[in-house]
Each structure stands twice: as C-alpha cells, then as structure tokens.
Amino acid sequence: MTHLRPLIIALAQINPKVGDVAGNTALILDVAEQALQQQADVVVFPELALTGYPPEDLLFRPQFLQQVGSAVNELHRSNPGLCMIFGAVSTQNGQLFNNAVASQPGADLQYYAKQQLPNYGVFDEQRYFSAGSQACVVEVEGVNLGLSVCEDIWFSQPARQVVEQGAQMILNLNASPFHASKTAERVAEVQQRVTENKVPVCYVNLVGGQDELVFDGHSFVIDEQGKKILEAEGFVPSLTLLEFDPEKGVKAITPSIGKQIEQPGLDQLYQALVLATRDYVTKNGFGKVVLGLSGGIDSALVLAIAVDALGADAVHAIMMPYHYTSDISVSDAAEQANLLGIEYSQIPIAAPVEAFMQALVGEFQGLDHDVTEENLQARSRGVILMAVSNKKGAMLLTTGNKSEMSVGYATLYGDMAGGFAPLKDVSKLQVFALAKYRNSISPAIPQRVIERPPSAELAPDQKDEDSLPPYEILDPILEQYIEQDRSVQQIIDEGYDTDTVKRVAWLVDVNEYKRRQSPPGVRVTRRAFGKERRYPITSGFRRD
C-alpha cells in the first residue's frame, strides 16, 4: 500500500495499575477512543501497559496470564478503528515474552517480543521472560512502523534489524523509571540510534508510581536528523500527537509542553516524590494519610508533599511533644499546619513514656540511662500514630530520610513505623534544598524550620551532629559508599577523615537489619535501599 497522506500518531502516556487487567483494558480503550476522535491512525501505549509494570511474580500465576490473554483478545475485538500498539505478555511453547502487540481492525494481531531483557538495578526480567529474536514491522496506511520495547533501544542491533526489515519509523514502548539525570540519558541514547539508522524514533514512556518505583513519562520524539521535536509533560498522563510522512519527515501536532531539561533539578525530583506518594496511597485503597509533625525539616517536607499529592483535606498531622520538645518546635509545627490548612492534633507523650518506664523499673534497676529511654519516646509516638492510622483508616507516612536510614539514625517500631516513606531515597542535604524549592512555589514550610540545626529532640539540647558528622560531610561519603560502591580507602583518598569514613561505612553495614524492616519508599537515585540494593543482614565482609 502506498501512503496518500501523513500518518497521525498518538503517544499515550498512561498510568496503569499493576495487576488490574480489567481496569487497564478499559483505560487503553478509553484513550484509544480519545486518539481516534483526534483523527489518529495509530496510538502507542507504554511497555506492559496491560499488566502494569513491573508485574513481578504475578507472572507465575496461570490465572493472571489467562486474564491477560483474554484481555488482549478483548482489546482486539473492541478496537475502535485505528492501529493500537500496547505492551502485554504472551506465552508460547511454555515460554513467556514481553511483547509489543499491534491490533488493527480486520487484521490478525502482530507480536514483537522484547529482545534485550534487563537484569540489573531494579530490573530482573530474566527471572520471567524469554528473549525474542525477530523484528516486527507494522504497516499502517502504507507506512512501515518498526516495534521495539524499552531496553531494546539502548542497543544497536534491534533497531538496525527492524530498519533492515523496512521500518521507516521506530516506535519504542517503555516502562523506564525515574532517577536523577535519566531524562537526558534517554534522549542521548535514542539520538544515537537515529544517527545509526536515519529513521525517527517515538519513545513512549509510562507514568505513575508503583511501590518503590516512579515513572516520569517525558515521552518524546527524535526526528531523522536527531533533533528532539516533541516532549510530553512529565509526571502526568497525556496524549501527544504528531504526523509522519516518510518523504517529509516528522512534525509535531501537540505543542511540546515538556520542559527542556538537560540536568533534572529540584522540580523533577519534587514532582517524582509527589506522584509516588499519591499513587502509593491511592492505588492501595487509602483516601487519607497521617504523619507525625515534629517541627523539624523532614516531617515538614513530608507534610508539604502529602498535601500536594492528596489535598489538605486528606492529611492529618500530629505533634507529640515530650519534655525535650522545644517551644519553637511546637509553634513551628502549628504554624505549618495552619499554613497548609490540614487537620492538626497535639498529643503529649509524657504519660505513655512514663508508664513504660514504670513498668520497666525492675528490669532496668541498676542500669544507666542510655539510648533505650530515647527510643521509648520514639516508640510511644509510633504506637500513637499507628493507633490513629488503624482507627481512621489513614496510611501512616514515615518521615525519615536516606542519610538517617543509611546509618541507622532511626528507631525500629518508632519513627520507622508506617506504610510509606517518601524521603527514604532523599539525602538530608536534598531535604533542605527541596524545602527551599517548595517554598519558592508558595509558602509551605516555616523559614525557621529550614534554618534551625536538625535535632531528634530525644534528649536535652540534642543535635544531629552530636551523633553524626555534619551532613555536608556525611552525605557525600554515603553517596560514594552506597551509590557508587567505592571502598573506604577510595573515599579516604578523596580527602575525607579516615576515622569518619570508617565509622560511617561501619554504621551503614551494621544497620542493614533496620532497613530490611523499614517501609517502602520511592527510588529517585541510582541506588536506593530496597529491591535495588540487596545486601545480606548477616555478613562477615569487612569494609576495610
């Protein structure tokens, strides 16, 4: 068939829910209808749009695979009248494949099986899938469209293979999670494929939060000269249109509304935290959240994120003062609660702490006061927050940051209690920067909260730096040790104090048992605690 007019292609940047095959089917059909109403000939959805990404061990359940197979057939039967290309799984000869599926009215389904299966970082696709080997070219109105899936575009062979089969454009379906600098990395890699093959590439990415991952969207198009001509807005679902004529090239129909960011800044990081929090809470069936508001910087930032994610009406903050809680902390917490218009309570913890101490008098007789008494304060707060969570059906957000979690500066079953940790992969220095950024949008965090020295306020005149190196020193050491896997000696060679580096590395290693019991939190760096960084709790490894 010879094309008579430019082909109109819609990039469907959607937010599916893992495992909700029926809901995702309805979402795909609804967006396909919207694309058709805008005269689209083709609508392209992200990788595994039908199952959500990553489906993990749901893929071992025959019933789940049967649901997916039925849904693929339902999408084909219900095709509203255009070419739909979406991600789904299929089984063939006992093997499972990660597919791009093409559905056209009056034609058989076409399947492309992903060839490059990532098995690093947060990805473990080789646990589930077999690799494909064949190219797939879909003809629409006389135009040949080549299919590829996510990791394929990071390698030369799959793109070269599909172009050799006659593809005039490559459609790349993605579920590429966010981390700092990822946007620019994607664009550079796709530009390299365009340089090699001289055909344009449409990169369609997932958006939304899924457990520890957040997908930022930022779908884009690179024309045959290697120029980015279109970018969808990040962190929101969207339908972006372009037209393609093999003789005249690619032209954007929808204005490019995505910010042209080469080095992602605080705006993308903050949006990632908000989206991840919103989706984790709502996709797990909660309509509201509760958190402890201490008057410190971490809980202040989590409160702002929660309000931006869910709305003030869905957020309840509780200040729980004790003997060591300063008047400044109490007033700053109340000021922020009033500023953001949330539900706010004050529940003193002196009575429960003293009740615990009285109950333990016999056990503690003859023993000096130490961190145990501090932890009882944190655990009393945790009990109160979990009780409110249970009674009111509100998910408890924990407020600890990555710096604290790295070195174990947190209390098990105390301030670590909760359902989701928005700042789990955010360093303390980033917390301060994000607080300032959030205030640049609108007043949200009292300035004094940002300026005061950090303190857990579990002992008289306590400061974080009484127990830890200054964060300006601690955070760079942690980044090198955790995210870059640098040795203690390599970090010392960078000019850091020997004893400080050794102590920090020791604290990271011995506190794995705490992190393993902590709530999930969103990944925003190259190496987050959780499914990405998996170290043994019991280990004889010596970091020296």
What does the DSSP assignment read for 282-298? HHTT-S-EEEE--SSHH
d(CA 171, CA 197): 14
Handedness of CA 399, 401, 404, 408 (dihedral sign): positive
* Selected catalytic residue, list 125, 150, 402, 479: 150
Q: Which residues contact 542 (CB under 8 A, 6 or more apart)?
A: none
- Residue 500 CB burial class (10 angstroms; 0-12, 13-18, ≥19): middle
d(CA 385, CA 433): 27
Residue 254: both structure tokens together: 């929808």
The answer to whether residues 147 and 84 touch, using CB atoms and an 8 Å cutoff, is: no
The answer to whether residues 293 and 303 touch, using CB atoms and an 8 Å cutoff, is: yes
Closest CA to 520 of 281, 349, 219: 281
The answer to whether residues 205 and 219 touch, using CB atoms and an 8 Å cutoff, is: yes
The answer to whether residues 190 and 222 touch, using CB atoms and an 8 Å cutoff, is: yes
Q: State the Cα torsion 79-32-164-130 to the nearest 10°.
A: -80
Our CA angle for 207, 57, 136, nearest 5°, is 60
Q: State the Cα torsion 371-373-375-377 to the nearest 10°.
A: -150
* Selected catalytic residue, list 47, 231, 374, 404: 47
Q: What residue has token string 């004889």?
A: 540
d(CA 156, CA 201): 13
- Residue 191, SS3 per DSSP: helix
The answer to whether residues 43 and 49 touch, using CB atoms and an 8 Å cutoff, is: no
- Residue 147, SS3 per DSSP: strand
Our CA angle for 169, 32, 152, nearest 5°, is 35
The answer to whether residues 114 and 88 touch, using CB atoms and an 8 Å cutoff, is: no
Q: Is 47 a catalytic residue?
A: yes
Which segments of 325-460 are extended strands (E)?
343-346, 395-396
What does the DSSP assignment read for 461-474? T--GGGTS--HHHH
The answer to whether residues 532 and 523 touch, using CB atoms and an 8 Å cutoff, is: yes
Q: Is 374 a catalytic residue?
A: no
**Hey, which residues are catalytic here?**
47, 114, 150
